[in-house]
């Protein structure tokens, strides 16, 4: 009887070993893939040093960015398509529905509500602290004729960043067994680092947005709502620079 139990335990361990090895290999593959996509698509931009606004050709940059971002978005879609047995819907990707737009507008308004609260807290800082927040690069349009291009630029930015930092990254973290809220935090930290060139204020705004968008993605699992809200926000900020 004891011998049978020992043999049964041995078979169980032998069966579990390949499964554990397969899981370990899959986790290593996912981590490698995440790292490769990040350093290929985002790290160069993170390391890029933006010049002063007065010497920055916004139109040329937006055209260049769109020409790079569109193939990257398509490649990310293809990469997600390869993640069998997962489907696009598991990454929050589905057909755009009319109902997504009102939700996107609500999310967009929520961003400004959060930033307004943050701005009120900033007023509690000493003057030196408030001045420090004003450092860093600031986007600025030169004329209203740039608005159509700014819309395309904002759309490309919204879908590119939400596709990676929310849809792809959070889903892959989940596959690795990472706590979903820790996943949101990790993704937000990476997202925020991409805004270091905008100084402390840009970093703070990006962190607030990253947490906000990440939590909404966990709840709604819809890339269009977030990408459109991101688009509306960016376009609003760019438009404001034409009047102030």
pLDDT digits (tens, 9 = 90+) for 197-241: 888 888 999 999 999 999 999 999 999 999 999 999 999 999 999
Q: Which of the two residues, 4 and 159, has the higher pLDDT score? A: 159
- pLDDT for the residue numbered 3: 54
- pLDDT for the residue numbered 160: 96
Percent with pLDDT over 70 in the chain = 87
Residue 97 has pLDDT above 80, yes or no: yes
Q: List the structure tokens of 57.
A: 């050709």
Percent with pLDDT over 90 in the chain = 60
- Calpha distance 156→41 (Å, rounded): 13
pTM above 0.75, yes or no: yes
pLDDT band at 14 (very low <50, low <70, confident <90, very high): very low
Mean pLDDT of the chain: 87
Q: 112-167: per-residue pLDDT in tens?
A: 999 999 989 888 888 888 887 888 788 889 899 999 999 999 999 999 999 999 99
Q: Residue 186: which residues within 8 A CB-CB, separation 6 or more?
A: 169, 173, 178
If you average pLDDT over each of 6-10, 54-58, 197-201, which comes out highest?
197-201
- pLDDT for the residue numbered 126: 87
- Calpha distance 155→147 (Å, rounded): 12
Mean pLDDT of 2-19: 50
Residue 53 has pLDDT above 60, yes or no: no
If you average pLDDT over each of 12-21, 49-58, 125-134, 182-191, which comes out highest?
182-191
Q: Which residues of 8-26 are buried (b: 16+ CB within 10 A; e: fewer)?
A: eeeeeeeeeeeeeeeeeee
- Where are the chain's structural domains? 65-240
Residue 51 has pLDDT above 70, yes or no: no
Question: Dihedral of the CA atoms 90, 93, 97, 99 (nearest 10)?
Answer: 70
- pLDDT for the residue numbered 22: 56
């Amino acid at each position: 009887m004891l011998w049978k139990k020992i043999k049964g335990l041995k078979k169980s361990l032998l069966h579990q070993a390949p499964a554990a090895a397969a899981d370990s290999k899959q986790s290593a593959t996912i981590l490698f893939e995440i790292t490769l996509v990040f350093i290929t698509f985002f790290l160069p931009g993170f390391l890029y040093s933006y010049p002063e606004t007065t010497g920055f050709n916004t139109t040329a940059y937006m055209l260049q960015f769109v020409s790079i971002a569109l193939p990257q978005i398509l490649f990310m879609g293809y990469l997600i398509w390869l993640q069998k047995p997962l489907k696009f819907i598991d990454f929050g990707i589905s057909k755009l529905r009319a109902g997504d737009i009102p939700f996107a507008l609500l999310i967009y308004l929520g961003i400004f509500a959060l930033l307004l609260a943050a701005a009120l807290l900033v007023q509690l800082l000493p003057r030196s602290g408030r001045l420090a927040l004003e450092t860093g690069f600031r986007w600025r349009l030169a004329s209203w004729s740039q608005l159509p291009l700014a819309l395309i630029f904002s759309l490309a930015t919204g879908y590119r960043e939400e596709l990676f930092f929310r849809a792809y990254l959070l889903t892959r973290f989940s596959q690795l067994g990472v706590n979903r809220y820790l996943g949101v935090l990790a993704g937000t930290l990476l997202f925020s680092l991409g805004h270091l060139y905008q100084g402390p204020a840009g970093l703070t705004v990006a962190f607030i947005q990253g947490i906000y968008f990440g939590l909404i993605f966990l709840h709604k699992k819809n890339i269009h709502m977030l990408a459109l809200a991101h688009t509306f926000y960016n376009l609003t900020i760019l438009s404001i620079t034409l009047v102030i």
